[in-house]
Structure 1
Amino acid sequence: MKYQVACLAMLLCASHAFGASFDCAKAASGVEKAICADQSLSSLDDQLAEQYQNTLVNLTADEAATTRKAQRSWLIERNACASQAASARDCLKQSMTHRLTTLQTLGNSGAKALDQAIAQIPSDPTDAATRLRAYHGGLASAWLVYLHQFEPSAGVTDAQAQARHQEAVAALADDSFAQSLLQDVEKDPKISRAQKVLTLLRMQIERASYDTGRPYVHCFVFARQGNAAYDAMGALYGSTRDGSAPVCEPSGNLFELPAWKRLTDAFQPLVEAIATQGGTMRFASYASLAVLQLRATVSPRDFLTPALRKDATDPTGNLRDWNDSKDWPDAQRKAALKALPDTVSATAGWLHEQRGLPEQQAQQAAKAVVFNWVNTQLELAGDSLEALDK
């Protein structure tokens, strides 16, 4: 026993304790103290704690209960590393690494099953609701609130929706900013109920691991819910947080057309200048641009409405008058000016052929799309670079 204590003490000889998933100042057991004293073990412990929570939210209630039981059993096994004498550290590292892999596998499998239930909403909302009721994480709860709002046939009752709304909000407890913003949105009488529901859903999608390779399964909401979805999923925070706005990729190949390639290439030096010199508000503009591009390919008729046409003034004059050649060389600016009419024409043709808009409407919508896109870029550049010069 004395030798075991001495070996663990060797792990505590570091000059300071590293952060772990628990309060190292309150570390009681030898294993906890060993983890706090070793940077690699402490980092591994952090990963384990984060993965454990991420795994639980992607499991059904029964699966989560089983995983919690397994986690308690594993902690007993991990703590037994104290009896490994000189190899205590290696024992801990091996045990923790193995458990991390197990949780990652379980979490990935659970996320896939949960996403399959979500993807079923457009075709069979009733069965999707049945499957989602088995989960009690914030994401599943937000989707049940969505079903109550938009899919009455799913059978989610008022009482169930209210309870799930509370669960989804409670899941934001560790993110006071998001929770406060959500409360402001929900209290605002000018914001529709549909947008409020979708904002809650957006915040739960952001918390899931979709930014690490997990494919989006919520893209159907944009076509089905229109304005409310575009407003809820786009620029919201006015900060770097908008960099993770859950906006899906455009549908189809509109922005891969040669004319669009020439226009975006011409803007590239200005875009790079904004990225390296602009403030954090630029992330809101990035989100707005992503919404614009998605909307152009999914809901192009929206660009025939006064709300979207009001900002679609012809940017030709602003392109000609731009006088900042340091951040945007004249050659690229003139290339953008030259590409403008071709991009409008190509967009109109695509909207007519791929989305069935009559030729006149396709031309009107194309101007609104292209002009909005260019004006947004110019406004973002002007605000970002002007603020930098002050």
Structure 2
Amino acid sequence: MHIHASLRFPRRLVDRRLLLSLSLAGFFVVHSTHAASFDCSKATTAIEHAICDNETLSQLDSTLNEKYQTAMANLSDEGASELRKNQRSWLKERDACNADAACLENLFNQRKSSLQATTQQAETQLDAIIASIPADPANAAYQLKQYRGPLASAWLVYLNRFEPTSGVTAEEAKQRHQVAVTALNKQNDFAASLLKDIENDPKTSKNVAVLTFLRMTIEQGRYDEVPPRPDVHCFVFSRQGDAAYRAFGALWGSSRDSQAPICPPQGNLFELPAWKQLNKILDPVMSAAYPNSGTIRYASYADWAILRLRATLSPTDFLKPIEGQSQESPEKRISEWDDKSWPKVQREQLLIAIDPARKATMEWLQTERKFTASDASKASTAIVNAWLNEQLDYLSENLSTGDQ
């Protein structure tokens, strides 16, 4: 498993995160109160006391605040102004309950549904604008400027960097960068701290830094919920290439990588029988390695997802060596593996399955991507080798005894 050096998180950040989690754990053990959207120790009105004294109401109040903030972040200036007026009217309805718990609970549940519907509608409209960026960056920029939330702001930073015809100025990008970073600090201070390190790292290109900033903002945007928000950002991979693959791949080295907004493969290459056979043969040894892998396995999963996307969306990348990918012969590594950790019979089955996978990939590239026979042969070998080497790296790190 490979994590690009410029995107490795510093040890001091890991230590800081651990200390923070321990201190917060202690806090919540000592101070077990109902979690409303406000400080219950400062409650003064009958409504506030009713909320703080009732766990259900406290949780609903906190949920409503989160849903209100989410809706506001996805609305245009006009929509946000309308929602603020609507919220003031609703607060009057809330106060009219006169601290009656049943009345408040019913009203809170109605408001939760209303805010959720508002958020979904707002997200749909915002996503449509984002999806239009490749076709008309200038018009997309004009519409995004009507929004003040972090996601719209991050996309304006993207437009300034990669779409000069969008008309987004450097000063506008600077201001919007601060908007999104401020929101990220509130939502996920560890992510904000890591982003700062990445942006200040001279080894990280400006393109990768901007795309990592975009990726972190997208990760806060409910794209991993059910039903999932559509992956309208997928065009960045074809338009920005290597920088996008680096920025959206393994970053956290933990379960956080399971939320990486990586788009699915473009086509059915990895659904072909030859590829399914490779996976089937590898499954027993991969399962044996799983118990030792810990949460860092999610970083491997992210790397594999990036490889599948890149192989199907940008297969011409594999006509030359890709920085960071192993150039070792997977056949040699498999043949020399320790018999105790990986039975020879399984390895021999895998070796037999490699050529069919290369042949199937070559044919797919010629049919689906219109490669010449020569280029298809070269790229198919590189794709299969890269895929196998990533699996072998994972096994080497997580089997009790691996290759040396």
TM-score scaled to structure 1, two decimals?
Answer: 0.88
Q: Which stretch of the first structure deviates more once superposed, 331-340 or 54-63?
A: 331-340
**1:92 corresponds to 2:104:** yes
Q: Which stretch of the first structure deviates more once superposed, 141-150 or 179-188?
A: 179-188
Distance 2:112 2:362 in 1: 52
1:211 Cα deviation after fit: 0.8
**1:57 corresponds to 2:70:** no
Instruction: Give the structure 2 partner of residue 265 of structure 1.
Output: 280
Code of the residue aligned with 1:154 in structure 2: it is: S
Distance 1:309 1:62, change over 3 A: closer
Q: Deviations over 1:297-343 (max 9, x none)?
A: 111111122235951422123334444777x6766554433322111
Code of the residue aligned with 1:254 in structure 2: it is: L
Contact 1:309 1:368 in 2 (8 A): no
**1:358 corresponds to 2:375:** no
Distance 1:263 1:148 in 2: 43
1:36 Cα deviation after fit: 2.9
Contact 1:263 1:335 in 2 (8 A): no
Distance 1:325 1:62 in 2: 66
Instruction: Give the structure 1 partner of residue 85 of structure 2.
Output: 69
Instruction: Give the structure 1 partner of residue 6 of structure 2.
Output: none
Matches within 5 A, 1:270-349: 270-307=285-322, 311-323=326-338, 333-349=347-363
| Higher RCO (CA 8 Å, separation ≥ 6 residues) | 2
1:214 Cα deviation after fit: 0.6
Code of the residue aligned with 1:124 in structure 2: it is: D
Of 207, 210, 226, which residue of structure 1 is paired with 2:220?
A: 207
Matches within 5 A, 1:106-185: 106-174=118-186, 175-185=188-198
Contact 1:148 1:155 in 2 (8 A): yes
Q: Secondary structure at the match of 1:209?
A: coil
Code of the residue aligned with 2:207 in structure 1: it is: A
Contact 2:325 2:386 in 1 (8 A): no
Q: Deviations over 1:67-93 (max 9, x none)?
A: 12322322232132226xxxx222111
Q: Secondary structure at the match of 2:83?
A: helix
Distance 1:309 1:344, change over 3 A: farther
Contact 2:278 2:353 in 1 (8 A): yes
Contact 1:282 1:384 in 2 (8 A): no
Distance 2:276 2:292 in 1: 24
Instruction: Give the structure 1 partner of residue 4 of structure 2.
Output: none
1:273 Cα deviation after fit: 4.2
Instruction: Give the structure 2 partner of residue 243 of structure 1.
Output: 258
Q: Secondary structure at the match of 1:340?
A: helix
Contact 1:312 1:367 in 2 (8 A): no
Contact 1:238 1:281 in 2 (8 A): yes
TM-align CA RMSD: 2.2
Distance 1:310 1:348 in 2: 20
Distance 2:394 2:169 in 1: 44
Distance 1:331 1:205 in 2: 45
